[in-house]
Structure formats: C-alpha cells, structure tokens
Structure 1
Amino acid sequence: MNYLPIFLDLKDKNVLVVGAGKVAFNKIKLLLRSGAIINIISKNISSEIKILLDQKKVHWISEKFHFSYLNKIFLVIAATNDIQLNQKIFETCNNLCILVNVVDDQEKCSFIFPSIIDRSPVIVAISSGGTAPVLLRLLREKIESILPMRLGNVAKIAGNWRSIIKQKFTTLLERRRFWEKLFNSIFVQYVINGEIKKAVKFLKKMMNKPHLLTGEIILVGAGPGNSGLLTLRALQVLQEADVVLYDRLVSSEILEFIRRDAQCIYVGKSAGAKNISQDEIIKLLISLAKKGKKVVRLKGGDPFIFGRGGEELEAAKNEGIDVQVVPGITSAIGISAYTGIPLTHREYAQGVIFITGHKCQNGMSNNWSILSDSSYTLVVYMGTLQASYISQNLILHGRSKSTPIAVVGKGTTIQQKVVIGRLDELDKIVKFTINPSLLIIGKVVLLHKKLEWFNTSSEFNNTKNISSIVNLI
C-alpha cells in the first residue's frame, strides 16, 4: 500500500493555495465542499476565482509566496507553472510537517487527491496512486452506477438514531446485529424512494422487536487459491463475520476480504507440524457460536470435499446451533480449468473419481480395482506424501505404467506449476513439485499442452522436460 487512505476534517481549517488558474480553481471547488477556509497567493487571478473572491468564499493574501504565510496552515496546494517555486514550497512544507500537494508532480506530494464518489455523508474515495487514471475513471463510473443518489440519506437517518439505538442495545454485538438487519431490510428502499416517514416507522418497529442474540456457524469454501474464484456469497459472509477460523490453504488475498474488525484465528494443519486437532477446532467453533457470535469456518476449496465440513456441521447441529454452508470451487474443478486438463472428455474419460491421499479412519480403504479403471480420470487430493504407495497400487491393479499424470502445485495462482509425466515416475516427479499440490491421473492429461491457457512461470510443464530430469535421477 503506497498511500494510507484517510479522510481529513478540513471544516474551518486554513488551507493555502498558491496559484489561481484553472487547475487551482478545480482544487478550490473541492476544498470548499469540505468547509475549509481558502487562502490564495497569486499574482494573476482567473475569472472563476475572481467570482469566488467577490462572493467572499475565498481570501486573497499576497502576490508572492513567503514561508511566513504558512503559520497556522493545515495543508498547502501548489498549482503554479514555476518549477523552482513548487520545489521551494514542497521542501518548506515538508520541513514544517505540513501536508502539501504540488499539482501534477507526484514526487512533490505528501498527499494526493483521490477520485471521489459523493453520497454525503457516505464518501467513497479510490486511487491508483497516479499510475492508471483511465482505469480509475472506469472504476468510478461503475461505483457511481451502483450507489443510489439518496444513499446518504440512509446514513443520515442512522446517525440521528444512533444514540437511541446505543441505549436500547447495550453491547456492541447487539448493536451491530440490529444495524445489519436494518440495512438489509426494506428500510433502505423506503429511504431511497423518498418515503422517510415509512422508513422511520419501520426502524422503530425493528427497534422494539425482541432481539435474541443467537450465534451461528457458517462453513465457507474459499476456492482453490485464486481470490477471483471466491463466490459472491462467500464475500458477503466474510464481511458479516464476527470471528473467522481459517485454514492453511486460504490465500492472503482472500483474507483481505474479511471485515476489518473481525477476529481471525488460524487453525491450519500441515504434515509434520504440531497442529490444533479437529476436536479442538469443533469445540472452539461451538464455544464462539454459543456466545452469540457469527462464526465463519473458512476452508480452502469446498467444505464438503475432503474439508471435514460434514464433521463440523454435524457437531453444530448436535448442539442446536444454526448453520449455513457456502460452497466453494473445489481444487479439482478449479485446477482442472486452469491447467487445460478437462476431467471428463468423450474420447478420453467417461467419468472422474476424487480421492484423498490420506488414509481413511474406521478401517476404510480404497477399492484399487475401481480406481485402476483407465476409463476414469483419477484426482488425488493431498497425494504427494503417499505418491509411491498410490502409483504402486494402481499399477498392481491394472493401470498402465505409462498412464499420463499431472502434478499441479499452487494451482490457479500466479505461482502455479504443472509437472507432466508417467504413472511409474510419480514418486520421483513429486520431488519437483510445490505444495499444496493436486495429482491428476488419466489420459485427459494429454490435452494439457494443447488446451493450457493460464500463463505461469512453470519451469517444468511438459512431458519431455520432466522425463529427461527423471532419467537422470
């Protein structure tokens, strides 16, 4: 983050603008909307600014800049064509710790003006840090189109009732739940339609309803890694959560979508490390939900595909806790698409089977005869630790040694690495992969080279290269 986005209270604060041309006028118009006291230094005054002077909306103090004019000034705008003067203003303000913006010279700015969407008191400000103004304009257009013009009135009414709601609901959690329900109700539409009396009547009705603070547990699939594959519903839930328990496979980009003041608890597991047990995770989920919190269990991929979501949901149901499930794109589906390896294809595979490389509990074991049927694509989650065991059993039960395989590390992300080889090379191939990884076994792997579209910096992404390396081992 190159800039910290903050909102300044400029009401009745002195701002100095050096320059009085068209560029300065555009800045002055914006500053006047914030209630700032505008002081101008310039020899030449544009006609637009002369009108503001006549209306006594701004103050002219001098023709020439002098550091003494910086006394009791909150921030400075330099909008002149004099490069040396702009440099002098910038250096002087920096030395005095005064915020300064030299227009169209980003290196001489201690702050920059963002692009603003004004629905006062709701203000949205966006910036590209000066790198992509056209992109910024397009983003602003999109945001402008989805924010109703009367959205500010919703915030104004909420502000008027804030102290009353604070008295009615004594805890922060109770108040937040009330506002969330209100803003997700017809109340907002009443305000946007200009039906203020109806809106206030509805607010009072909701306020006087008995509100039981009930917790809930929401299982959320974060997808295979790429933050762009997060579902819209998952994004909404992450913005509503009080607590988020997240796994090792959830990317940092996705964690950025979590509401800022939500509590985030890492409960990830990795092979060979000291991990929190599944029983401990379940106890924590239930304990937090019983305190009335909205608890999100955030998992890589999909909660119900080797994510132990069924166990967590079952435990919550046994305790009488409300639950929801937000599906995610499971790794097999996402990685298949991002590697150009279709899991089914009429000429290569009539079906697909998902298994995990971890051994099941309760004495359950894989039916290797079914898994060795070459007419099915086999996808193995968490299979690298058992690579030798998997390949040996598949070959023993009839899969050809030359069956094409793909081991994909960090699939769907910019670090995605695809290693192609044969089934009898699997235990050697995994040495060249990166975790987390997914194993795809079957003839459909042959389509990778033809259908791949997601460009990565994969070092070993074709059969010839990896076979050459394996032969050297």
Structure 2
Amino acid sequence: MYRRGHQPRPWRTRFNAEDRAESVEDGSTGSGSGGLFFEEVNVFYPVYLDLRGKRVVVIGGGEVAQRKAASLLDTGASVIVISPEVTPYLGALGDQKRIELRKRQYVRGDCTGAVLVFSATDDPEVSRNVYREAIALGIFINTADQAALCSFIMPAVVQRGDIGIAISTSGTSPALASRLREKISKIVGPEYERFAELLSRARSEIRRRVRDEQDRKQLHYRILNSDIMALLKANDLAGAERRLRELVEDSVYGQRTP
C-alpha cells in the first residue's frame, strides 16, 4: 500500500538458484544467502522517433559509428560524423555528401543543435566529455557499451519493411535481447512485409468504399483471419491480391464471409 501522492519505485525481481522466499525492498538479499530480492533499475519509455531532417551527431569513425550512421540515414536524419579517422564506407558517404563528415577530434560545442547524439569512440575521456555536453544541453545521448553514459538505449530490432519489432531488456542483458530477436525473426518472416505492403496499397480504397468505421474494423479482422498470409508465404502475390479484393467486395455488398 502506498501513501496518497507517493509513487512506487520500479523493481526488478531476481531469483537465486534456491528460489528462496525472503524479500526486502532495499536491494539486499534479506535473511539467508541469496534469496528472492528486488533491485531498483531504470525504466525506459519505448518510442519511435521521426528524425527526418533532424540533426543527429555521431562521435567516432569505426565500425560501430558506421552502423549508427547507416541506420540513421535510413530514417532521413541529417547525420554529422566527427572523427579524425573513419572507415572507408563513412569516407565514401562523406564524399557523396550523404553525411557531413568532420575529420577532426571532438570539441565542446559539437553537440549543439542535435536532437540525438551517439558516442562511439574508444577514448573514455572523450566519451565522458560528450556525455556531459549532451546532458547539459538537454540532448538524449547513447554511448556505445557504457550504460552509465546513456540517457537512452537502443533495442534489438526485427525489421520487415514497415513492420518494426523492438526488443529490449532495459539494458540488463543485450545477449538475451539478441536471442529474442533471432527467435522472432524466424516467426515473423518476409510474408509479413508483403502483407503490410498489400494492406498499405489497399488502405485508401478500403476507406473510400467502406465508409462505416465499424464495418472497416470488421473487414480488417476478416482480412487478417483469411488465407491471405498463407498465399503470401507461398509467394502467390496475385492470389493474395485477388483474395483481398474479394473480401473488400463482400464487405461493400454486405456479404459477410468467414
């Protein structure tokens, strides 16, 4: 029971091998060696950001910085990479003017104007200085492999076209997040990407022809429960499109098919 106006602190539950029943709220193990205990952890808020045209700064020029810059370009962000040495790929992006490449050491002020900062340098002092500047400016920052220098973390992601599934363990076990991504990747195959593309193309026609919101909702459920996914999995795109048209026509003319 919490007092009025009192907000409970977030807890993570952790069990030891013996699965003991003792628990305390201060993070200690209670009486006995290693029982059930609660440990305070960060609670992260999941969100997708629209970075189109927004400035994002990447400090570093190695493989990690390269991956960050490449994925940021896919979002339409305006990417600035700062490092005296960069990978050939980053150099090519700079030559093509796809990123702004500043081939020099980081200096205070480089974070100004950014909405996000990624620090991917192997110099601990530089990492700390970048973090301090970003925090002072109120900019969210992610520092590679240094959770203490992060105000946001990156999830493991399964991407299938417009479908994005983000997996996070709140920074407790990146290996577990990676394993979950592998498992989900096997379940959510490329047919889901094709299904999303099909629905996207049909969306405006469905809204135009099925005016009632409740009827549209029921139609979408019938589409999802139909054999369209199986047709897409069998690479029968024409059959899937034909089945979708049939379901739309049935809805328009009031024929409720399973």
> Structure 1-normalised TM-score?
0.42
- CA displacement, residues 407-436 of structure 1 (integer Å, 9 cap, x when unaligned): xxxxxxxxxxxxxxxxxxxxxxxxxxxxxx
1:187–1:199 Cα contact (<8 Å) kept: yes
Secondary structure class of the residue paired with 2:80: strand
Q: For the residues of structure 2 that align with 1:5 and 1:78, how far apart are their CA atoms? A: 20
Structural mapping, 1:205-354, within 5 Å: 205-210=246-251
**Which residue of 2 is the match for residue 102 of structure 1?**
143
Query: 1:213, CA displacement in angstroms?
Result: 11
TM-superposition CA deviations, 1:104-145 (whole Å, max 9, x none): 111221211111111011111101122122222221111111
The amino acid that maps onto 2:176 is: L
- Residues 1:124 and 2:134 aligned together: no
Q: Which of residues 218, 236, 250 is equivalent to 1:195? A: 236
Partner of 2:131: 90
Quote the Cα distance in structure 2 between the aligned partners of 1:96 and 1:107. 18
Q: Specify the SS of the correspondent of 1:100.
A: strand
Counterpart-to-counterpart distance in 1, 2:246 and 2:88: 54
Structure-1 residue corresponding to 2:113: 72
How many Å separate the matches in 1 of 2:59 and 2:168?
24
**Residue pair 1:122, 1:152 contacting (<8 A) in 2 also:** yes
Counterpart of 1:36?
77
Q: Deviations along 1:73-116, whole A, 9 cap, x unmatched? A: 22111111222322222222223222211111112212111111
Is the contact between residue 191 and residue 229 of structure 2 (CA under 8 Å) also seen in structure 1?
Answer: no
Which residue identity is paired with 2:140? L
Given that residues 58 and 82 in structure 2 are in contact (C-alpha distance below 8 angstroms), is that contact kept between their aligned partners in structure 1?
yes
Work out whether 1:23 is the aligned partner of 2:64: yes
Task: Give the Cα–Cα distance (whole angstroms) in 2 for the partners of residues 103 and 157 of structure 1.
Answer: 38
Contact conserved, 2:210 with 2:251, CA < 8 A, in 1? no
Question: Do residues 139 (structure 1) and 192 (structure 2) align?
Answer: no
2:190 is matched with which residue? 149
SS of 1:69 mapped into structure 2: coil
Map 1:48-59 → 2, pairs under 5 A:
48-59=89-100
Deviation for aligned residue 1:207? 1.0
Counterpart AA for 1:80? T
Gaps of 5+ in 2: 1-9, 11-42
Give, in angstroms, the shift of residue 206 of structure 1.
0.8
Return the index of the structure with the highest Cα Rg: 1
- CA distance in 1 between counterparts of 2:214 and 2:131 reads 46
Determine the C-alpha separation between the residues in 1 that align with 2:175 and 2:111: 35
- In structure 1, the gaps of 5 or more residues are 215-473
What letter matches 1:13 in structure 2?
K
How far apart are 1:10 and its partner, in Å?
Answer: 2.2
What TM-score do the two structures reach when normalised by structure 2? 0.74
- Between 180-189 and 160-169, the greater mean CA deviation after superposition: 160-169
Q: Does 1:6 align with 2:47?
A: yes
Structure 1 residue 62: Cα displacement: 4.8
Return the letter of the residue paired with 1:25: Q
For 1:168 and 1:94, locate their aligned partners in 2 and report how far apart those are by CA, in whole Å. Answer: 51
1:110 maps to amino acid: S
Q: Which runs of 4+ in 1 moved over 6 A?
A: 211-214
| Kept in 2: contact 1:115–1:125 (CA 8 A) | yes
Question: 1:54 is aligned with what amino acid?
Answer: D
Q: Distance in 2 between matches of 1:210 and 1:149?
A: 28
Contact map agreement 2:207 2:216 (CA 8 A) in 1: yes
CA distance in 2, matches of 1:109, 1:192: 40
Work out whether residues 16 and 38 of structure 1, in 8 Å CA contact, stay in contact via their aligned partners in 2.
Answer: yes
SS of alignment partner, residue 101 of structure 1: strand
SS in 1 for 2:50: coil
Structure 1 position 165 matched with structure 2 position 206: yes
* Counterpart contact for 2:156–2:166, Cα < 8 Å: yes
CA contact (8 A) 1:73 1:98 kept: yes
* In 2, Cα distance between equivalents of 1:171 and 1:90: 51
Check conservation: 1:174, 1:213, Cα contact below 8 A.
Answer: no
CA displacement at 1:63 relative to structure 2: 1.1
Question: 2 CA distance for matches of 1:13 and 1:192?
Answer: 37
Aligned equivalents of 1:14, 1:194: Cα separation in 2:
40
Task: Tell me how far apart the structure 2 counterparts of residues 111 and 210 of structure 1 sit (CA, whole Å).
Answer: 45
Distance 1:92 1:171 in 2: 52
User: What SS does the corresponding residue of 2:130 show, helix, strand or coil?
Assistant: helix
1:67 Cα deviation after fit? 4.4
